[in-house]
Chains A and B, each alone.
Chain A
Amino acid sequence: MNGFVNGVLLSNKEGAKYEDVTYTRFLTIRTVNGVELTILDGFGTITNDIPPGAHIECVLAVFPAHVHYFPQQPAPVPPPGFWQGNIVEPHWQAPQGSFRRFSDQLYAHAWLLLATPLGQLLMHPKELKNIGPVNANGIIQ
């Protein structure tokens, strides 16, 4: 276990499919703390043969519509609909050979590594374009 989101796979369904080619999949997992998450496997269907019931640990990337950054703790309580993560590493690079299945996007660039109640999540650095440099221990909402 690497501290990423882990849980039980509840369902693994085809998403986009055209002329016998499956382009995306939708997975639902129940995390160890009981939260159900729907995940899009959108960059190469790396989850084709994982059956429901399997225990999996996933390196998930989040693509939020709006991001707020607070350089110091404590941050204000997130408004309804927002979640919060602590910055573990502002320029995290996925270690080569550490993951059994992966999208090429994982190694395409450095990521922002966040610690959340669900487990560690990745965020694309482009989300911080209007924010500027961020520091470890800062908070993202």
Chain B
Amino acid sequence: MKSRKWLLTLIAMTLNIFLLFFITPQAHADNCGSFSDCLGTIDAALLALLAVTVIIGLVLLLPEILPFLFEAASEELLIVGEESAEGLIAELEASGTNFSADAMVGITRSAAGDVVWLEEGNASAGLEHIMAGHGGDFANIGIEGEQNVAKLLLDTLNSETPIGVTNNGAKIFQVVVDGVEREIAIVVGKNGFIVTAFPL
């Protein structure tokens, strides 16, 4: 978000300089049949300058006024472990794995050595499914909000070895949440996509 504000500020400054040093003198030099005509043209140019400044100001303020519109854009990819996201994503690409980089919420390498990642997903799989189906269960054990759930899952996969595996391939991990030992089940697809997770 910070880089976007810098870009908008730069555009605003360029436009203002353009209006101030190019259009206004042009209006004064070329379009003034009389002194009153000249004043009218300069007024119009200055009004345009003001309007552009106001518009740019509003655009800059929009993220503060309507933060929810910019929330997704401001969220950063969660990377757990020592490896860079670029390296892990390149590994996924090289293996021909089907994934959506735009929808990726976080990525890590599992304790078993596989690249695993969490996407925003949908009602059936991924973070949206986890929050809709099991967000309340995570909140009950003290893990509230998408970011905290995502971090718990990636941290667990990165550093923990499962203590069991169920019929459907869900891996059961023991974790400590707020000083209390808990168990969580995480289902990871064959390609490394985190399908679902829930506390036990």
Binding site for B on A (CB under 8 A): 14-19, 21, 23-24, 26, 40, 42-46, 63, 65, 103-105, 108, 124, 126, 129-130
Contact = CB atoms under 8 A, between A and B. Distances in A.
A23 B191 CA distance: 15
A17 B128 CA distance: 12
B181 A129 contact: yes
25 contacts: A15-B129, A16-B124, A16-B125, A16-B129, A16-B133, A18-B124, A19-B190, A19-B191, A21-B189, A23-B187, A23-B195, A24-B168, A40-B133, A42-B168, A42-B185, A42-B198, A43-B167, A43-B170, A44-B167, A46-B167, A65-B140, A104-B167, A126-B183, A129-B181, A130-B180
Contacts of B193: 18
Interface string B154-182: 00000000001011111000000000110
Contact of B196 (A23, A46, A63, A103): A23
A23 B167 contact: no
B63 interface: no
Given A16-B133, A108-B164, A42 B189 contact: no
Given A18-B124, A65-B141, 19 more contacts: A15-B129, A16-B129, A16-B187, A17-B125, A18-B189, A18-B195, A23-B168, A23-B170, A23-B196, A24-B168, A42-B198, A43-B166, A43-B185, A44-B168, A45-B168, A65-B140, A126-B181, A129-B181, A130-B180
Chain B binding site: helix, strand, loop or mixed by DSSP?
mixed
A14 to B, nearest CB: 7
- The contact size tier of chain B is 20 to 34
Contacts of A103: 166-167
B199 to A, nearest CB: 7
B200 interface: yes
Interface of B: 124-125, 129, 133, 137, 140-141, 164, 166-170, 180-181, 183, 185, 187, 189-191, 193, 195-196, 198-200
Contacts of B125: 16-18
Nearest to A45: B168
